[in-house]
Amino acid sequence: MEKLEGEQFIQTVLISNVHDLIEKGFDYLAFVIIGQGIETLGSFFDNKPFDHYEIGLPKKRFLKGLSLMESKYQVIGEFLWENLRCGLAHQLKPKKKISLTSYKSSATDLQNLYKGDKSGTTYLVVDVLFRDFVNACQKVIEKLTDPTNTEIPSDKKHAIHLTVRKVIFTVNPDTGLIEETFE
């Protein structure tokens, strides 16, 4: 059984796994995880347990996570909360005037990507968003590993974020059925 603390979780799930998704062409799923990942980064900085819920807390955490990224995201933070994070988290699709794309996608319209369009659509490019998200992840990792850092509560620095259990499949010799056991 593998237990991932904050630094390992960020490095494995938020950076390495999302990188792999993008490399394999699963840009849309990468956007979903980045949207939730921004909130996850913000959750390290408050004094509430990671899985605590109260009205308004997810938004506060998302905006805190966004504050670790470049200012171009912060000025549209409310818009990204509503249209990217909430849309993808609750309906698995972005809302309103937001378009998701990548540099590798044949659907990328470079003219609109750089100039925008008259409809006011905001274009998010997964390659750029991921690069900026990784920078924010690195900032959190630096704070987690700095023993003098007080921005992150000490009980969150070594909290288990994810437990990965190994599943072993064997064939029952009496029944011929596959059975699973967990380590």
Alpha-carbon distance 2 to 162, whole Å? 8
Count up the domains in the chain and report the number.
1
Q: Which domain holds residue 49?
A: 2-182
Q: Which of 6-10, 64-68, 131-135 has the lowest mean pLDDT?
A: 6-10
- Residue 27: pLDDT band by 50, 70, 90 thresholds? very high
Percent of the chain topping pLDDT 90: 59
- Strand pairing class (122-125; 98-101): parallel
Alpha-carbon distance 109 to 116, whole Å? 10
Token pair in block for residue 59? 């938004």
pTM for the whole structure:
0.84
